[in-house]
Amino acid sequence: MTDNKAERKQDPLHGITLKMIVTQLEEKYGWEVLSKKIDIKCFSNDPSINSSLKFLRKTPWARKKVEELYLHMK
């Protein structure tokens, strides 16, 4: 049996929602720079937090890139 507390402490994204991640990235970089760092249409074509969340929740490869950028930013 695994120790869930230990796993959570090792996960740097534990307790951080995707909405928090996208919001903080947008505040730091803005949509234009964010779309250059991660080339996805939801960041470059009429971007919004909600459209980005909708896309990222169903696109694992894009979500992984966003999470990696967030961790790099921190």
**Cα–Cα dist 6/61, whole Å:** 26
Q: How far apart are CA 71 and CA 3, in angstroms?
A: 24
Residue 48: what pLDDT? 97
The model's pTM is 0.85
DSSP state of 13: T
Q: Are 46 and 16 in contact (CB under 8 A)?
A: no
Those residues with Cβ within 8 angstroms of residue 71's Cβ, 6 or more apart along the chain or in another chain: 12, 13
User: What per-residue confidence (pLDDT) applies to 3?
Assistant: 56
| pLDDT of 74 | 86
- Distance of alpha carbon 25 from alpha carbon 6, whole angstroms: 27
* Residue ranges per structural domain of the chain: 4-73
Q: Which CATH class is domain 4-73?
A: mainly alpha
Tens of pLDDT, residue by residue, the chain (74 residues): 455 666 556 889 999 999 999 999 999 999 999 999 999 999 999 999 999 999 999 999 999 999 999 999 98
Per-residue tokens: 36:
């250059």
pLDDT number for residue 6: 60
